[in-house]
Amino acid sequence: MMTTSRDVLLWVDTETTAIRPEEGELLEIGMRVTDMTGNPLPGPEGRYSRVIHPTNGIRLTCGTMEPILGMHRDNGLIRESLLSGTGPDETAEDACQWIVDIQTKLDPDRLIIAGTNIQFDIDWITSKLPALADGLNSLTDYHRMDMTALRLALATLGPHQHEHTTHRVDDCLDRDTNEYQQTISILRHTKE
């Protein structure tokens, strides 16, 4: 896949209360835009994040109570979601408008979705924010850039440390874009 300078990466991350959408709630969504080397594009409009208020509360199951809910209790996301999050419909509409604004401002040849295990995030968005999923399908390229694949490939070269996060979308997206830039640097170095 050949890239041009007019291609843009749309980094996406979600935070949830379960592994599968049918078992939990979507609590937070974040997006960033960078060029193909992972450099942020100028302006605060290149970043988007929203805490989502689950319309039917948060369901507890044996499989999610401690590992996932404990993590999001400790990082404050559950409290923030229940007290001040934006509803799913409003979040989907707002996020779609943000992507349209990015498309209009940047006019990229391709807007390529990127992230860690990105299909996980797409599945959650499709299930919980279907209007946003429609917007992503119509406004982005069909190619995906998955950090998991890059990390696995780098692991074949030797030990690769994966940076841990607070499991909030801004922190995870910072990690992803930083690791992506490091990966690009490694690839450039091996090419020389």
Taken in order of first residue, the domains within the chain and their CATH numbers are 7-191 (3.30.420.10)
pLDDT digit string, tens, across residues 151-182: 888 888 777 666 778 999 999 999 999 999 98
Confidence (pLDDT) at 23: 87
pTM for the full predicted model: 0.91
pLDDT of residue 51: 97
Cα-Cα-Cα-Cα dihedral of 121, 122, 127, 128, to 10°? 60
* pLDDT tens string 88-132: 999 999 999 999 999 989 899 999 999 999 999 999 999 999 999
Q: How confident is the model at residue 57 (pLDDT cuts 50, 70, 90)?
A: confident
What type of residue sits at position 136? L
Averaged pLDDT, 55-77: 79
Q: Is the pLDDT of residue 2 over 60?
A: no
Burial tier of 172 (Cβ tally within 10 Å: 0-12, 13-18, 19+): buried
Mean residue pLDDT of the chain comes to 89
